[in-house]
Amino acid sequence: MVGREATRVVVVPDGPLLVEGPVEVVLPDGSVRLSERPVVALCACRRSRTYPFCDTSHRRRGRPAPGSGRVVGQG
């Protein structure tokens, strides 16, 4: 790479992806979400109510049912 350092992404086991910010996230519908935090937690579990950003919902038990977006096995 010339003139730019690599962006560091840290994968948190069973948690978010931590990305050095600020970041712009482009969603499948083309909308853009901006975070100017120095470290941004991106949701990898699809449970966040603030998707694409992590809201710590991953800490709840259960996983989304494949293709449904619903969380099963909570308790």
From candidates 19, 40, 47, 52, binder to ligand FES by CB under 6 A: 47
From candidates 56, 62, 65, 70, binder to ligand FES by CB under 6 A: 56
> Which contacts qualify for 12-16: CB closer than 8 Å, 24 or more apart?
12/41, 14/45, 14/58, 15/41, 15/44, 15/45, 15/54, 15/58, 16/41, 16/42, 16/43, 16/44, 16/45, 16/54, 16/58
Position 15 contacts ligand FES (CB under 6 A): yes
Stretch that binds ligand FES, among 1-9, 27-35, 51-59, 64-72 (CB under 6 A): 51-59
Tell the smallest beta-carbon distance from residue 58 to ligand FES (Å).
3
